[in-house]
A and B are shown apart, each in its own frame.
Chain A
Amino acid sequence: MSDTPNNKSLFADETIDGQIATLNLGPTHPATHGIFQNVLTVDGEKILDSVQTVGYIHRAFEKLAERRPYNQITPITDRLNYCSSPINNMGWEMTMEKLIGVQVPKKVDYMRVIIMELARIADHLVCNSVIGVDTGALTGFTYMFQEREKIYELYEEVCGARLTTNIGRIGGFERDFSPAFHTKLKKFLQEFPKRFQEFDDLLLRNRIFMDRTIKAGPISAERAMDYGFTGPNLRAAGVDYDVRVMTPYSSYEDFDFEIPVGTHGDTYDRFCVRQEEVRQSLRIIEQAYKNMPEGKHFSPDVPEFYLPPKADVYTKMEALIYHFKIVMGETPVPVGEVYHAVEGGNGELGFHLISDGGRTPYRLQFRRPCFIYYQAYPEMIKGQTISDAVLTLSSLNVIAGELDA
C-alpha cells in the first residue's frame, strides 16, 4: 500500500498532484435521464468546468408541424415533456382556441384543470423521487411510482393512453369523464395525501438527504431570471412567478391556491417547492372536482377540428360532412399570430403560432422550458462534486424530449 505513488495525496486535502481529468457524464449515462452529454473537467471530485452537448434526439417537431393539419399536432406535443404530456396537449389546444376565437364551456375548463394538475403531480413525483434515488434512497421512488401508476390509470380512463396521452381536442374533450374515472379519482384523492405524506417524512427531514441536497447546485434569483428560468426552478430561487396566476388560463382564477417559493435555489429548495406544489395541485383538483359545472364536455362551435364518432359518420349527414372536411383539410383557420403560455410541469411552456390561413401552421415554435434552463447547468455545478452534479441535474428536471424537441 505504502509504495503506490498517489497513496499520500489520495488522503490529503490537496488536489491529486494538480492533475486535471476530462470525464464524460453521459450520453446514455444513468444519471442523464435521456440523452445529453456533459464533458466535465475535473480535479479529483471537484468540477472545474463543463461543456454540454444536446440534440441527440432532435426530431424536428417544429418542421413536422408545418406539414400537419392542426388537429394532428396534439400528438407531437405529447412527446415534448413526456412526464406531463396532458399539459402540453391542452396548452396547444388552448393556443388553437385562441387563434380561432372559441370560448369553451366552463365544464371543459374545469375538466382540463383536473387533468393538468394530475399531470403536474405525476411530473413532480417522478422528479422528486428521482432526486431521492440519486441520494441513494430507492424506497421513495418505488413508493411514488405506484401513485403515478394510479394517475396513469386515470388518463387511461379519459383517453385510453398512458404516456403519450393525446388527451382532449381543440374545443374540449372527446368524451365526458366516465363513471370509472370518477370512482378512481375519488379513491386517489382519498388515499394519495397519506401516501405522499409518508414520502415527505421519508426524505424531507432526513439527515443524509439534507446533507446531500442543501447547497447542491445553487442559483441566485437574479441569475435564474437572466437565464430565463421559469416554473419550480425559478420559484425555488425565490421569484414567485407562475403563469397560472400572472396570466390565468382555463379558469385558474376561480381556484384558491398558493405559490410556494424557496430562498436559496439549491437542490433542497427545488425539492421542497415541488413537494408543496403537489399539495397545492391536490387543493386545486379538489376544488375543481367539487364545483364542476354542468354542461357539455366540448364546444359545439368547432366541429371542424375533431373527427366525429364513426357511428355518426355512417348515419348522420352533418357528421359525414365534417369528417370529410377534416380529412380533406378544408377547415377554415384565420390568418394571425398567437402566443399562448401554460404552466407546464417544469416551467412556462409557450406556443408561438403563425397562421397564414392554410391547412397547416405556417410556423410553430415551442417555448420549451428545459431547453432554456439547461444552459445554466455548467454554472450551477462549477466548483461542486460529481455527485452534486448528478443531483442538480435531476432536480432541474431536464426532460430530453423537451430539451431537443
Chain B
Amino acid sequence: MSNLTNEAVLSRIQGKFGEAVRNAEEPYGLLTIEIEAAKAHDLIQWLKTDEVLKVSFLTLIGGAHFPNDKGREICVNYHLHSFVNNVRLRVRAFLPIENPSIQSITDIYVGADWQERESYDFFGIIFEGHPNLTRILNEDDMDYFPMRKEYHLEDATREDKDDRFFGR
C-alpha cells in the first residue's frame, strides 16, 4: 500500500496531459477526470506504463447518454485501478451523438474487447480499431441502440394504460 493521494495522482496526470484534462472531481472519494476524446487512448496507455502510478488494471468500461448536453451527448466511462498503489480512478470522455467514435483500447487491455462491444451494442459508441465491433448481448439485426434515452422501457404509444398516478 502506498500513500498516493488523489491530488498527487491528478497533478501527475495534469503535468503530462495539461489542458486535455478537465473537470476533475472526487465524487464519493473516487477521482474522476474528463479527458478530450482524442487523448483518451494515450492517457490510458500512459497510465498503464507510468512508473509512479502503475494503473494497470481495467475494471470497467461503460457508456451513458445525456440527450440534453449538446455536442457531448454520449459519455464513455473508464474505471481504472492501480493494484500496486491501491488507487482507483475514473476517466470519462464525451462524444457528440452524430459521430460517437473514440479510439479502441483493445491494444492496451485485451479484456476491453467485450466491454467495448457491449457499449457499442447499447449506446452505439464506435470504438475505432476494435477487431470485431459487433453486437454482443442483443440480436444481430437490431438497428437501434436500446440504452439510449429515447427508447422507453414500455411502449410509449400504448393507450390502454394510465399510470399517471403511480409516480412515473
A residues within 8 Å of B by Cβ? 54-55, 58, 60, 62-64, 66-67, 69, 98-99, 223, 225-228, 239, 241, 246-247, 327-330, 336-339, 341, 348, 350, 352, 354, 359, 362-363, 365, 367, 371-376, 404-405
Contacts and interface: CB of A to CB of B under 8 A. Distances in A.
Question: For the side of the interface on B, what is the size category?
Answer: 35 or more
A60 B137 CA distance: 9
B147 A62 contact: yes
Interface of B: 27-28, 30, 32, 56-60, 62, 64-65, 77, 79, 83, 86, 88, 90, 109-111, 113-115, 118, 122, 136-138, 146-147, 153-154, 166-168
B62 A365 contact: yes
Contacts of A405: 137
B121 to A, nearest CB: 9
B119 to A, nearest CB: 10
B58 A228 contact: yes
B109 A337 contact: no
B91 to A, nearest CB: 12
Contact of B28 (A98, A239, A241, A330): A98
B60 A365 contact: yes
Contacts of B113: 375
Nearest to B121: A55
Contact of B79 (A67, A239, A352, A376): A352
Given A63-B146, A372-B114, A336 B138 contact: no
Given A63-B147, A228-B109, A54 B137 contact: yes
A352 B114 contact: no
A375 B86 CA distance: 25
A102 B111 CA distance: 35
Contact of B114 (A241, A350, A365, A375): A375
A367 B153 contact: no
B137 A58 contact: yes
B56 A225 contact: yes
Contacts of B167: 69, 327-330, 359
Contacts of A371: 114-115, 118
Nearest to A69: B167
Nearest to A224: B111
Contacts of B138: 55, 58
Contacts of B86: 246-247
A338 B28 contact: yes
B64 A363 contact: yes
Contacts of A376: 111
B64 A228 contact: no
Contacts of A363: 64-65
Most buried by A among B27, B83, B111: B111
A228 B57 CA distance: 7
A225 B60 contact: no
10 contacts: A55-B136, A55-B137, A55-B138, A223-B110, A336-B27, A339-B28, A362-B64, A365-B62, A371-B114, A404-B137
Contacts of A62: 122, 147
B84 to A, nearest CB: 11
Given A228-B109, A350-B79, A64 B153 contact: yes
